[in-house]
Structure 1
């Protein structure tokens, strides 16, 4: 039911469409018309397009066919091609050039990135929507080519409040991949037609009046499906059926469609086969392919309801009709048609596609054509399609031509990696290793494979094999050493990373490869810093002189990360912001993702947790666009933990930890373990915090012991150890942090090691020494823009002051900490500060056994608050409240809320400062001493 000229049975759906368009003047939204094949989705979609045009909306239209799914930006050519001239002046030059090349409006010898094309689509849609509400209308999006789907999906996530609406169709059980998860979607489920509507439809479309018994049989057999109803009615009419029992009801709709095609002359069926193989050709193009006028054949096909060419483009009345035409031909007939289309093809890409479909066995000439087409497509930024063409070239290469197989496998692997498909890329490089001749060629393929290895440890052996094969290709050997060094870093072996980076520098110098040398020097400087060697400005300056690019692996990016880890937050932020702007302008989305990730880390440490979440999410979206790993999860998880969103933090960190363990990425194992431990520490559950924090510290300490960098878990473990009474391990770790602080003189390490020492001293009742240590910590905080760390140091100082009976000073210090926590939204830590302030007043003896958070919740219970109200008051989840109250019940030996209230109110006492040995300097609850292999 593609083009009926009535609204038979669809009035409610049309009302819904109009209501959607009435609201399509605000932020992006989508309308999805969904239902089974033949139910009438396309007609409703066409009505939605017509309504939008009548309202003055800009409407971008695309109706892709099955044969277009493997083309590069075919859908984008239809959607934005007509609007490029109008919007081009508003696009930055790199994006304008990328879009022109992608749409075949110009050519380029330098490849454009698919990210640049995607960014151009964002700005084009914003420009159009700035003049009028804009509609992106796509029928059958399952046939949209991958580069177009990725570009549109990228754009729809980044349009902000621009009035852009998507109107699309969806077959049952098929996803619409281009719609972002958070885009508001209105769904119209198209129902079957009633018997009366079916009767009117058949009469309107076919001019046939069905007898009541026949109508009942048609409606029952079709299930109210308009397309199938028309096919059944047409079959009944065409065969002159007089009785109901003779109504043809085949098991499959395809049998009906094939029967209709069989009634057409052979010459017409041949024209239809050519049209089906071409997609949606214009009439002149179809005539060139046929070599003669096709008007008579098209007229017969239109009369039979197979195609519609009224607008000069040959469109099948339903996608099933095109599929039936193509499937009805024999394999030999299809190959012959594709061969003819290849001979008549005007574009190398189109010619190669038809040659591949015409080929039944390996053929070097066809493989070469596909290889050439792949190179052309890659220049347009359609990396996924370029990989597909290169892979087809590989499959059609004679098996004994190993050099060609190696070359094409490598090319396909590089394109697949550029498209973000790491799994596909890995498979192709595995083939390249098999096909490569011994020596540098095999070493190059092994290096690529090492960079894609999962788990990471597999890459070590591949690098060693590559070094054996590289011989005297010094530039290649340099790259292999750099790859091995990076793998060692993420496996947690910093000394080995530093050693291989140094070898990479020496070999790059020997080979005279400035690009390799610049990256090798930058990585040497980075791993040297991680090994405790400080910021080597001389090395970074040299590297940036050799390579001033903005990519994720560039020297400037390495320097920005090192500056950030060394507490140079302002300089790092300025560099990262510039790098992000430059990579977004050129469409280097992979590098932009890395820069956003590091900006998210900066925001995390600066206490800007909302901004950290946004940067982390955007970084993750860019990585998902490229099928990259989920490293940014830990940043969002930690930001959520700081904000007190306990359940979200745990969920995100658990997902990040699972991915890091799968890949053997020690760095992100440590980071996600830190989040899980920090959540428990924030809740005052020190015993539970010790597990993940201890595991994280033990992953880092053996080989990563001279500089902490961005690994901040050790002071948190020390705090939990002191609270749990494991002073031996706390002392050991504190001595280690002090040693690192003396060597590096970093503000963060100095401040946190001095705070950790104060906790250990206070636990031993040496309060004067603890107070002096906190003085040193606060002095270091003056050059450390990390408000949460400052608040925690103030909290520790206030406890020490209270225990020294300096109650007024303690109150002032606690209030300063509370102001910091509340100002940043750190709800759990603010609760702890309020609890400490409350302890300076009157408290019950029972409350001494509760943590500050538990005390706060108990006080709200006493005031009659429900769990839901407590959760809302403290910005926590209900589950977190329930867990804390359960622990409070166990500690106080009560079984109900009433008993809890009675216990708290029955034994009040004046505040007393307890100086018991082994008591935590922050919370005076004592838990079972920590016992584990930590000693």
Structure 2
């Protein structure tokens, strides 16, 4: 099978194009073993038409045989002894355009390669392409003369690297007819290093049904497993013991612990032997020496080669020298082949201690492992429920979903419904979540901890429904039922401040500073910092927001939750966007998008891709913007917290494209939302100005006025400066459209004063742009020129290419300080147009409708039609097509 490799094929096509012009080319095709170099070249030459293809392959046992490769290419014995003479023989056989391919060229005889190099040097004006397929690292088996030649050539090269996740998905579809989940394909890519040979071997060797669900681990391909087994068998006993110890302890274990488990007082000789055999990699940093396998497949191959008795013995010993309780317990589980109630109890105790810190990944692993070695059915089911709940909290939805059938078959109970409701929330299924959580609450469980858990789930459910008042009520219930320091109470408290903020409560401004200190420690502190950063952004404090959100990503030292990290990254991207750090914004979005593929956390997906779509659209990267729009799409059956960013992303991209009807269309679902309080609370969702601005530009001034009034009142009541500024520029447009330019100027200046102390360059650019357009429409061209130039500088600094171009058109339309034609440049009748006419004509010639032109230049459609009539008369034309042709001639 062959899929992907578009970049590599394009590079080979470039080499072919160069050769076809009569410039002979010799190039290397490089990459690791099994990466698909040969398949790439076969695909490339297989589609060539009109080219003669001659191929040869180097083999180790012929490397010392002179002319072995040349004889394959010539298809006859070689009697000459000089490489130049053989080169002439090769050229005599290649009169037509020719491609010569030598696979495994590093195993060729050196004189054949010399003849090929000489042939290229002497193929004057011939269409000749020579491709040498070689590994990226030359091994010890390469003949010294061949090595010197390949190293000294320095020709062009095509580097063949790992295949990506998309290619692996396509390979699986073609090989198995199975559409792999994104997280399975990504884990397979990490396991194999993107090596297509290994991927295809595993797809063939692992039963098809196992690819359709979660796999805790992938095996090693049988060929690699056999090679590792042979290599290990040839090693001294001490080396084997050390390698097996690393397989038991896991990658990046300390060399001292590995040596202790292997029973080696001095591990240097064993380390050296394992390193030379390619079995272990040694990493040293500031005196900390750790050991790891070169790739995950080698680690699995070694582990699978250890027999059960030896495996149990090693894990028992590893538990005795483990550095922490969790590691010791998991080693004991690996050493246990039967149910063990006492060990299961110890695992549950460990899970409880980690739950107090909010380290849900550790909790999930401990509880699910405990459930598997628990003999009593009821206890086993309870531990499984808690484990899957923790998996959901850790945002490991792919693994959590594998237990869904087992959970659904358990007897109905409030705890079961709470777990299923939580899973539905993270999957973005509000109706399903509401059904489970309502039933769990109404059942009236007597266990306060279960009731508190249901309340905490209701807190998240309310957050996702954008119901701040309900959120606060459920948070207070959770804290009353569970006690202050329990995980349910802490998570509820972490989100309660957001509910206060969404409700417009003044208490929100001091809520997080008044929380107890213990809530900021460890993994629980991650939740508080994420929520505090989110609220700080909403309350016009983006600098604090950035600090808190950057610290809300988990680290290996503090623990943490991938789920909270994704929320933090999503709001960090919004914060970086607001601050004008758009390069950082894109990096944050890309990092979060990759984690989303692993976690399957649909709930956060629109929020992440909203920012990616907006930045790429503003920068003119429409392919990337549309990709983010597709990936972040949500509908009316999704949570409002998914629908709102999805609608905003589409509307903001439409605004960049000057499609103001599209802006209104994309925002209509927000207008129709039943619960508007949290949606309309200033600072949380920047949609009112976007919607009202589109109303003004599409000529619906009175409707915009009516829509704006309650939002202005609320922003003023809250004293929310950026919201007042954003609504202010729309109010300025309305006043300008009604001819009250003095009031409009005062309103715009007020909006800018609101932003003066805030680090929000994009908002300042928007206000200045609207201000300048309004002044220009009122005929205040010199004033408009200065304001629009300010907007242009801000947009240019941000890299908002779309609006830089708009500002340039506004400046041309204004006619102030525009460049005069050079005296020696031929004039055209296009030059007879006024600046305003020229701006209209440019957009019409580019294919825009009158309505689109009106929206972009902030004119009425009637004014555009008036200008267009005058343009046609001046240029002596009668159609838009003629206008476009005239502009092409002029340019």
Per the shorter chain, which TM-score range? 0.5 to 0.7
Measured after TM superposition, the shift of residue 855 of structure 1 is 3.5
Give 1:32's aligned residue. Answer: 195
Distance 2:478 2:251 in 1: 48
**Of residues 519, 534, 538 in structure 2, which corresponds to 1:547?**
519
Residue 569 (1) aligns with residue 726 (2):
no
Residue from 785, 792, 796 that aligns with 2:766: 792
In the TM superposition, residue 614 of structure 1 has moved relative to its aligned partner by 0.7
- Judging changes above 3 Å, is the alpha-carbon distance between structure 1 residues 284 and 127 closer, same or farther for their aligned structure 2 residues? same
CA distance in 2, matches of 1:411, 1:575: 30
Pick aligned residue for 1:900 from 872, 884, 887: 884
Matched, 1:757 2:763: no
Distance change >3 Å, CA 622–CA 850, structure 1 → 2: farther
**Paired residue for 1:17, among 104, 117, 135?**
135
Q: Contact (CA 8 Å) 1:443, 1:469: kept in 2 or not?
A: no
CA positional deviation for 1:471: 4.2
* CA distance 1:366–1:613, shift in 2 (3 Å): same
Q: Is the 8 A contact 2:371 2:381 kept in 1?
A: no
1:481 aligns with 2:638: no
The residue that corresponds to 1:686 in the other structure is 660
The aligned runs of 1:427-826 (5 Å cut-off) are 428=403, 431-432=406-407, 435=410, 445=419, 448=422, 451-452=425-426, 454-508=428-482, 511=483, 516-545=488-517, 547-549=519-521, 551=524, 554-580=527-553, 585-586=558-559, 588-629=561-602, 630=605, 631-658=607-634, 664-699=638-673, 702-704=676-678, 706-826=680-800
Contact kept? 1:811, 1:840, Cα under 8 Å: yes
Secondary structure in 2 matching 1:567? coil
SS at match of 1:457: helix
Match runs of 1:844-855 below 5 Å: 855=843
Alignment check: 8 A CA contact 1:446 1:465 kept: no
**Aligned partners of 1:506 and 1:704: how far apart in 2?**
25
**CA distance 1:803–1:128, shift in 2 (3 Å):** same
The more displaced of 11-20 and 132-141 is: 132-141
Are 2:379 and 1:407 equivalent residues in the alignment?
A: no
C-alpha spacing 1:807/1:284, structure 2 compared with 1 (3 Å): closer
How far has the Cα of 1:590 moved from its partner? Answer: 3.8
TM-score normalised by structure 2 residue count: 0.58
Q: Which digits, 9 at most, give the CA deviation of each residue in 1:44-77, with x for residues without a partner?
A: 9889999xx9xxxxx999999xxxxxxxx98584
Give the CA deviation at 1:789: 1.5
Deviations 1:778-830 (A, max 9, x none): 11111332212211211121122223433222211111111111111101111
State the distance in 2 between where 1:648 and 1:518 align. 39
Structure 1 residue 494, shift from structure 2 partner: 3.2
User: Match of 1:34, SS?
Assistant: helix
Output the CA distance in 2 between the equivalents of 1:715 and 1:825.
22
TM-score for both structures, normalised by structure 1: 0.56
Q: Equivalents in 2 of 1:845, 1:16: separation in Å?
A: 63
CA contact (8 A) 1:410 1:428 kept: no
Tell me how far 1:711 sits from its aligned partner. 0.8
- Alignment CA distance shift 1:671-1:20 (3 Å): farther
Out of 295, 306, 313, the position equivalent to 1:281 is: 306
Distance 2:391 2:240 in 1: 29
**Counterpart contact for 2:252–2:291, Cα < 8 Å:** no
Q: Secondary structure at the match of 2:439?
A: helix
Please give the residue correspondences for 1:122-137 in structure 2 after superposition, counting only pairs within 5 Å. Answer: 127=284, 137=294
Aligned-partner Cα distance in 1 for 2:242–2:706: 67
Contact 1:677 1:692 in 2 (8 A): yes
| Unaligned runs of at least 5 residues, structure 2 | 1-32, 35-58, 63-102, 108-132, 140-150, 163-192, 206-220, 265-280, 315-329, 819-830, 849-870
Instruction: Output the CA distance in 2 between the equivalents of 1:287 and 1:597.
Output: 44
Return 5+ residue gaps in structure 1 as ranges.
Answer: 54-58, 65-72, 89-99, 106-123, 146-277, 290-345, 356-364, 861-887, 909-935
**Which segment drifts farther, 616-625 or 679-688?**
616-625
Shift in alpha-carbon separation, 1:490–1:678, aligned structure 2, 3 A: same
Cα pair 1:79 1:136 within 8 Å, conserved: yes
Aligned to 2:392: 417
1:620 to partner: Cα distance: 2.9
- Pick from 806, 811, 828 the counterpart of residue 837 of structure 1: 811
- CA gap of 1:739–1:538, structure 2 versus 1, over 3 A, is same
Q: Aligned to 1:805, what secondary structure does the other structure show?
A: coil
Say which SS state the counterpart of residue 137 (structure 1) adopts.
coil
- In structure 2, the CA distance between the partners of 1:388 and 1:515, relative to structure 1 (3 Å rule), is closer
**How many Å separate the matches in 2 of 1:134 and 1:583?**
18
Distance in 1 of aligned mates of 2:241 and 2:285: 14
Deviates more, 1:554-563 or 1:702-711: 702-711
Q: Contact 2:252/2:290 (CA < 8 Å) preserved in 1?
A: no
The answer to whether the 8 Å contact 2:372/2:380 transfers is: no
What residue is the counterpart of 2:333 in the other structure? 349
Cα drift, residue 735 of structure 1: 1.1
Cα-Cα RMSD: 5.4
Distance 2:312 2:733 in 1: 86
How far, CA to CA, are the matches of 1:783 and 1:490 in structure 2?
32
Are the structure 2 counterparts of residues 853 and 540 from structure 1 closer, same or farther at C-alpha, using a change threshold of 3 Å?
Answer: farther
Cα shift at 1:414: 4.0
Could you tell me how far apart the structure 1 residues matched to 2:380 and 2:693 are?
Answer: 59
SS at 1:657's partner residue?
coil
Distance in 1 of aligned mates of 2:633 and 2:759: 28
Deviation of the 1:127 alpha carbon: 4.7
> Aligned-pair distance for 1:667?
1.7
- Deviation string 1:577-624 (CA, Å, 9 cap, x unpaired) is 344476765364443333333221111111211100111222233344
Tell me, what secondary structure is at the counterpart of 1:16?
Answer: strand
**CA positional deviation for 1:28:** 11
* Higher relative contact order structure (alpha carbons within 8 Å, sequence separation ≥ 6): 1
| Aligned positions, number | 620
1:537 is displaced (CA, Å) by 4.1
Q: Are 1:552 and 1:595, in contact at CA under 8 Å, matched by a contact in 2?
A: no
Looking at structure 2, the residues matched to 47 and 282 of structure 1 have their Cα atoms a distance apart, in angstroms, of 12
Q: CA 1:836 to 1:580, structure 2 compared with 1: closer, same or farther past 3 Å?
A: same
Deviation of residue 391 (structure 1)? 6.2
